[in-house]
Structure 1
């Protein structure tokens, strides 16, 4: 047993194997369809995995930039504390007032540069988070498309066993839905989201 290895067959494998012994046009057509759907489903699955990896990478970049922003704000706060001490020193008797006024001016200028740097990192973090959300949404679209193709393949396998025309039509229909979902994912189109947005806008108008 262990010498021969362990193999897991998908629905399309059984469908093609069954068709090979069937020898009729109906079985051959289903076999060709399942082979095509298996290829399309594999492509959709690859895209789904790639977009999920992108989402994780973008989220990691967002976290890094957020940390950089936090460090910059901490540095900004430290400069503010030094500025406050310098301003307090000016009010004390017997001190070099001009010196501390110069330090106050220097800390203010340094704080402006630090503030700009912190805001830059925060904006970058937001952009990475937005990209991550978009990639994750695309991943869900690819996952739905892949699932639809898998269901279509399973229906095709059942069609071969039952030879029911309506099952064949159902398999074609589900496969078409999967391909449409894949096309939407490829084109970065969200028809459901657009519909919900439109409905929400219409409800708000009333």
Structure 2
């Protein structure tokens, strides 16, 4: 913080932007489903592009293991929205959940061939001095997440090809999040046991 009153003050953080973009992206399946059902997708697509660009702007202000992943996913979402609008082929936006899973699979999967898998990188943010047991555990968890992205992405692709909007919205807007939350909760419980035995 500058003490000189003539200096330009720091720009205050805008906490509602991350919350807004996060909620809008979580609501993506419902917004797209509503837009297709009501034939109002031409008004929703520009809104989604704005949200995704805000996401890009927000992520560029920070650093972290998932920074480029989020940037790639957001920019891909922009491309899908623009393609749907320009080509008048609104089914392109339905591939967004598939792309998200594919990008996450590539990032997590490729990290297994490096000295530090993605889950280990995320774990070291809070625990820099990770034990050997913790390192082995994070590698296993990275593989589990790869399996999840393969399964979830495959079902998401099926819902697109099956062309049933109710099924697409149900899976990508509800079931996929429930499964992801369940996996995260189970992983947290197992992690506590690993930490307890490692102490």
TM over 0.5: no
The higher relative CO (CA closer than 8 Å, separation ≥ 6) is in 1
The structure with the largest alpha-carbon Rg is 1
More helix per residue: 1 or 2?
1
TM-score range, shorter chain: 0.3 to 0.5
TM-score by length of 2: 0.36
